[in-house]
Amino acid sequence: MPIFLHLCLENNVSPLKETAFDNLFRLYYRPLCMYAARYLRDADAVEDIVQGAFVAYWEKTGSGKEPDAPKSYLYRIVHNRCIDALRKGGQDATIDLEHLKEDVPDEETVDCSFIWARLWTAIDRLPTKRREILLLSKRDGLSYAEIAQKMGISENTVHNQLAKALQTLRDGADQVFFKIFLW
């Protein structure tokens, strides 16, 4: 134990702080992605922006000026960088730029981004086939008959699988959220 503490002092790090930061990252990474994905179509750009926001936050904590509200700090940076990205390559915009004039993140979208992140994680954990049926139905708007034909299964199976998938999403979103936070 003393060796451990000594190494901590020598490297000028607090293991607790690092763990806290990792937890912060796990907690906010996907919601921030969901938030940015509202404005940008390109997933790589979204990931870069969110990553950049965390780097900015880390540098700020390193310089001793820790923002007292990490959530609003992170969302503000992501929001501003999204607007910058939209201004640079405006043709890729999925949303009216006029709507985005304000310099503050949209509270409603911030709240929604948490729900979206939970949904995303829950969908990510569905069995592959069930997930595909869900996506075909909800994303592509195919009917049961079309899905059944496409996947070579009966309409009844499609119905059952879809019901099960939705049930999992309803039940599981909460637990999944907990797992993200704790793992």
Partner 1 sequence: MTEFNDKDLAYVTRRYRPDIYDTRRALRRFHAQTDTASHRRWWMTAAAAAASVVLVFAAGYGIRTWVRNAQEPAPVEQPALNPNVAYTHIFIYDNAPLDQVLAELSAYYHCTLKAPATDKRLTATFPDDDIELIVSAIEKALNIEITRE
The interface mask with partner 1, positions 74-113, x = CB under 8 A, is --------------------------------------x-
176 Cβ neighbours under 8 A, 6+ residues apart? 118, 121, 122, 125
How many Cβ atoms are within 10 Å of 137's Cβ, its own excluded? 20
The least CB distance from residue 6 to partner 1, in Å, is 10
The least CB distance from residue 117 to partner 1, in Å, is 8
Look at the alpha carbons of 99, 46, 137, 150 in this order and tell me if their dihedral is positive or negative: positive
Determine contact, residues 155/144, Cβ cutoff 8 Å: yes
The interface mask with partner 1, positions 44-73, x = CB under 8 A, is --xx--xx--xx--x---------------
When binding is defined by CB under 8 A, the residue of 20, 22, 66, 154 that contacts partner 1 is 22
Range in contact with partner 1 (rule: CB under 8 A) among 21-29, 79-87, 97-105, 142-150 = 21-29
* Helical spans, DSSP H, in the chain: 2-10, 15-37, 43-62, 70-88, 107-124, 128-138, 144-151, 155-182
144 binds partner 1 (CB under 8 A): no
Rg, the chain, Cα only: 21
Residue 5 identity (one-letter amino acid):
L
Interaction site with partner 1 (CB under 8 A): 1, 3-4, 7, 11, 13, 15, 18, 21-22, 25-26, 29-30, 33-34, 37-38, 43, 46-47, 50-51, 54-55, 58, 112, 114-116, 118-120, 123-124, 134-135, 138-139, 169-170, 173-174, 180
